[in-house]
A and B are shown apart, each in its own frame.
Chain A
Amino acid sequence: QQQVKQSPQSLIVQKGGISIINCAYENTAFDYFPWYQQFPGKGPALLIAIRPDVSEKKEGRFTISFNKSAKQFSLHIMDSQPGDSATYFCAASRDTNAGKSTFGDGTTLTVKP
């Protein structure tokens, strides 16, 4: 049973456009929702994260929107740049579970110049 569903699988955006990646979770006990960015040949890097007591968090061009009632959260990348081309993973975890995270399947983002 997949607990975190991520869409789309791949996304192509023009430079300067907005990239939007969506995730839905099932386990209401999850209380930490990070996004990771992974470039080829590298490990994932924590990009931005949110807890369910807020509905939105913004860091630079990256924003997480969180809808607790719908059990959904999304990553918005404003003014997308070719350097943002990477694979993005959403994840969810419970604080009490030794930090064990459940990952979505990933979204490959390509930003065209």
Chain B
Amino acid sequence: DTEVTQTPKHLVMGMTNKKSLKCEQHMGHRAMYWYKQKAKKPPELMFVYSYEKLSINESVPSRFSPECPNSSLLNLHLHALQPEDSALYLCASSPGGGGRGVNGYTFGSGTRLTVV
């Protein structure tokens, strides 16, 4: 299995809602990432988990809360979002968290989030 699976593919939520994005990989990768991508822009890093521990938080607002329940799963909990948070949210994984083991990412297809 060489895929990163993200659910749901599309999500519309109100500013008072609580929702979660899910990501799953079965490649044995030990680093997992959340990225946010606006139209016609490159992906922007939000969070990095290395060996199931949060290693990087790119000063993301607390209305975004990541969780890594195990080495295959990554969640992003959403609460009280703003319309400007509407974007494509991408999950990615890579083989290792450091050293020569680091390679390119395998991205999921993303969740298209619309905040109304």
Question: Could you say which of B41, B42, B56, B108 contacts A100, with CB atoms under 8 Å apart?
Answer: B56
Query: Cβ of B98: which chain A residues have Cβ within 8 Å of it?
Result: 95-99
Whole-angstrom distance between the Cβ of B29 and the nearest chain A Cβ? 10
Q: Which residues of B contact A95 (CB under 8 A)?
A: 98-102
Q: Does the CB pair B99–A46 fall under 8 Å? A: no
A-B pairs with beta carbons under 8 Å apart, 7 shown: A32-B102, A34-B105, A44-B107, A49-B104, A96-B98, A96-B99, A99-B96
Count residues of chain B with CB under 8 A from any CB of chain A.
Answer: 31
- Residue contact B42 to A98, C-beta cutoff 8 Å: no
Binding site for A on B (CB under 8 A): 4, 31, 33, 40-43, 45, 48, 50, 55-56, 90, 92, 94, 96-110, 112
List the A side residues contacting B104 at CB < 8 Å.
32, 34, 36, 46, 49, 91
> Could you tell me the dominant secondary structure of chain B's interface residues?
mixed
Would you call B107 and A98 a contact (CB within 8 A)?
no
On whether the beta carbons of A46 and B102 are closer than 8 Å, the reply is: no
Interface size class of A (residues with CB under 8 A): 20 to 34
Q: Does A103 reach chain B (CB closer than 8 Å)?
A: yes
Known interface pairs A45-B107, A98-B55, A98-B97; A103-B102 also in contact (CB < 8 Å): no
